Amino acid sequence: MTSEEVTCSPVRMSLLDKQALLRGSVREFPDFPSPGIIFRDITPVLRDPAAFSAAIDLFEAYLREKFPKIDLIAGLDSRGFLFGPSLAQRFGIGFVLIRKKGKLPGPTESVSYSLEYGKAEIEIQTDAVDPGQKVVIIDDLLATGGTMSAACQLLQRRQADILACLVLIELKSLKGAEKLKPHPVHTLLEYD
């Protein structure tokens, strides 16, 4: 097997084939949820087990190559929850939730932020992450970077060591990755 291949998927496909499969599974909806926004819909990825496995395989391949040790995967509400637990299982590690405000019980810490189409506030339970833990953050999509940047702030307040920010989709023209520096962003599919 070459380094271009990974073993986890039932079918042996190159990483490029997996990326192509994934790209073919993302739909676009112009003017949703408001005029001028092209909504990138990942629901077909979830409907197709091969596409879903391809996404998890691609994230896993990146993390295995870059990081010898990861303690936790943190997922962003709500679509980060769809991919994070499967990825965490591949590494035998835990998954923690970063949720929209008002959804988590017990002591929490929160940060507000701006979205491509609105404003929001996210929070984490204060005991979700221990100081020094090596955390990877995951979401479906990076647009302005407001959500991911707020998640980084939350995790930094809990003194986590943020290894990387993972997204299926990056909307390059919105320059979200610049907002996240110096944290590395790993993206499976880029769009303008």
Which sequence positions are flagged as catalytic? 79, 116
Q: Which is nearer to ligand PRP, 6 or 58 (CB)?
A: 58
Binding mask 110-129 for ligand ADE (x = CB under 6 A): ------x-------------
Binding mask 138-177 for ligand ADE (x = CB under 6 A): ---x-x---------------------------x------
CB-based burial label for 74 (10 Å; 0-12, 13-18, 19+):
buried
Q: Is position 81 an interface residue for ligand ADE (rule: CB under 6 A)?
A: no
Binding mask 2-31 for ligand ADE (x = CB under 6 A): ------------------------------
Whether 138 contacts 166, CB under 8 Å: yes
From the list ligand ADE, ligand PRP, none, which binds 122 (C-beta under 5 to 8 Å, kind-based)?
none
Whether 128 contacts 158, CB under 8 Å: yes
The conformation of residue 95, written as its DSSP 8-state character, comes to: E
Cα three-residue angle 20-184-190, rounded to 5 degrees: 30
Q: Is position 159 an interface residue for ligand PRP (rule: CB under 6 A)?
A: no
Whether 38 contacts 172, CB under 8 Å: no
Query: Rg of the Cα trace of the chain?
Result: 16
From candidates 59, 139, 154, 164, binder to ligand PRP by CB under 6 A: 139
From candidates 147, 154, 164, 188, binder to ligand PRP by CB under 6 A: 147
Q: Which region, judged by CB under 6 A, interacts with ligand PRP, from 23-31, 71-79, 84-92, 156-164?
A: 71-79
Whether 81 contacts 138, CB under 8 Å: no
**What is the per-residue burial (b if ≥16 Cβ within 10 Å, else e) of 76-114?**
bbebbbbbbebbbeebebebbbbbeeeebeeebebbebe
From the list ligand PRP, ligand ADE, none, which binds 43 (C-beta under 5 to 8 Å, kind-based)?
none
For ligand PRP, the binding residues (CB under 6 A) are 76-79, 115-116, 120, 139-148, 176
